[in-house]
Amino acid sequence: MPNGIAGWSILVTGGGSGIGLATAERLAADGAHITICGRTEQKLIDATTRINAVATAGATATHMVADVTVEEQVAAAVEATTRTSGRLDALFACAGGSLHLGSTLDADMAAVRGTIDLNLIGSIICVKQAGAAMRDQGGPGSIVLMSSGAGRFPHPHLWAYGVAKAGIRFLCQTAAEELGPLGIRVNAVAPGIIDDELMSFITAGGPLLDDYLAQMPLGRVGTVEDVADAVRYLIGPESSFVTGETLGVDGGHHLRRGADYSLLFG
């Protein structure tokens, strides 16, 4: 596949930092035109500068402010992505995060709903809008969703995030089944502990990090580049016969048990 993803138009949600930014850089370095979106404009401006600095083969990077829980804003981001080439070739739905941490018995339901909206509902909206655009252009297309190890096996006190990420795994399977006949593949990544700004309160050290490392055969914290490489594979033509798959990028953590977030409470 000599051309890889050069010339493709790809939307990355949550592309202003962390895994989203690293993946956008990885894709642009292979010649793809990248549109990133998120909720903080200055972060997106800074990220776009970084992406353009590594872009090759005439690739470009642009940004727009969009909240993935607002369907009209996602639709606008999808439309913006098509302006360069007239197509939407791929989507990496990376935006997410945890707004709730604690026991089910003491749940802050507003935080639980916010976590599910951001992760699961946001991903559903992204699949709907991107999938429709890919269908209307006659395919093909590739969608990669962001699940998590927390959605594959229990992480005490991180259950709201885990529920949302488990939903994304099932969304991946269902969308792959539905969209496959249209030439649209849908896959997901499920990272473990990754050294980025969202996880810095863990990766800085302490009992929770020790617990993570004890449950990982490879015994190290992952990098954003580890995940970016996995997404690049799932997005690109190299995985043209792969759909409905959730790929663990977790150092083997899924082979053991989830990290115990109650350790944060002493």
Catalytic residue positions, numbered: 161
For residues 78 and 131, give the distance between their C-alpha atoms in angstroms, rounded to a whole number. 10
What length does the chain have? 266
- Tokens 């093909």 label which residue? 140
In a 3-state reduction of DSSP, which class is residue 139? coil
Inter-axis angle of helices 224-235 and 18-29, to 10 degrees?
A: 50
DSSP assignment of 190-217? EE-SB-SGGGHHHHT-SHHHHHHHHT-T
Q: Where are the alpha helices (DSSP H) in 101-158?
A: 109-116, 122-136
Q: Which tokens belong to 223?
A: 């990098």
Q: Count of CB atoms within 10 A of residue 103's CB?
A: 11
Q: Which of 124, 233, 117 is nearest to 178 (CA)?
A: 124
